[in-house]
Homo-oligomer: A and B are copies of this chain.
Amino acid sequence: MSAIDEVLQANAAYAAQFAWGDLPAPPTRRLIVLACMDARIVVSQILGLKPGEAHVLRNAGGLVTEDVLRSLLISHYLLGTREFMIMAHTDCGMMTFTDDDLFRRLRHETGTAVVTPTRFFAFRDLEENVREQVQKVRSHPWIPATISVRGFIYDVKTGRLREVSA
């Protein structure tokens, strides 16, 4: 059976005992979390979040891309979030390759050059990278200074978060 068909079976069991049908859309903790797509990261468990409490953004690396800024602006201006938590993690796959290598490999394997994505944003220094992501949010002219922006590193071996100082 395909993985999607397996999770659809799990969803039928979830729906059968579903108890969250009356939650409003605005996150009750006024929190938005950005984390890496990494399979070992289950944001709701790591942060003790229940349905309805926080917006969650995820991409490769937990990076502040244009898409993350798009989502963050919608989250703040239309749905009232006011704290932004950025969560990188140890053993991140983004530190295992370079953009140039991956672009070359894709062109070679597929025989095709493409326009987008224009970058993969591979990086080398985990802590410095978190600082850069925080800075990208803080310096955006449409993000009010009243929004709290803090960066963290999640340790996949211990389950513990550590704040990255500015």
Q: Chain B: which residue is nearest A154 at the CB level?
A: B11
Could you tell me the distance between the alpha carbons of A25 and B36 in the complex, rounded to whole angstroms?
12
A79 at the A/B interface (Cβ < 8 Å)?
A: yes
Q: Chain B: which residue is nearest A63 at the CB level?
A: B67
Q: Do B78 and A70 have beta carbons less than 8 Å apart?
A: no
Interfacial chain B residues near A124, Cβ < 8 Å = none
Could you tell me the distance between the alpha carbons of A96 and B74 in the complex, rounded to whole angstroms?
11
Q: Do A3 and B31 have beta carbons less than 8 Å apart?
A: yes
Q: A3-B30, A7-B49 are in contact. Are A102 and B120 (CB under 8 A)?
A: no
Q: A93-B25, A96-B78, A110-B141 are in contact. Are A120 and B54 (CB under 8 A)?
A: no
A108-142 vs B, Cβ < 8 Å mask (1 yes, 0 no)? 01101010111111000000000000000000111
Q: A46-B14, A79-B93 are in contact. Are A55 and B38 (CB under 8 A)?
A: yes
Interfacial chain B residues near A7, Cβ < 8 Å = 29, 31, 33, 47-49, 54, 85
Q: A44-B44, A75-B37, A161-B8 are in contact. Are A25 and B67 (CB under 8 A)?
A: no
Interfacial chain B residues near A21, Cβ < 8 Å = 156-159
Name the contact of A112 in the complex, choosing from B20, B45, B141 (C-beta under 8 A): B141
Interfacial chain B residues near A121, Cβ < 8 Å = 70
CB distance from A79 to the nearest CB of B (A): 6
Q: A10-B48, A59-B59, A158-B15 are in contact. Are A31 and B54 (CB under 8 A)?
A: no
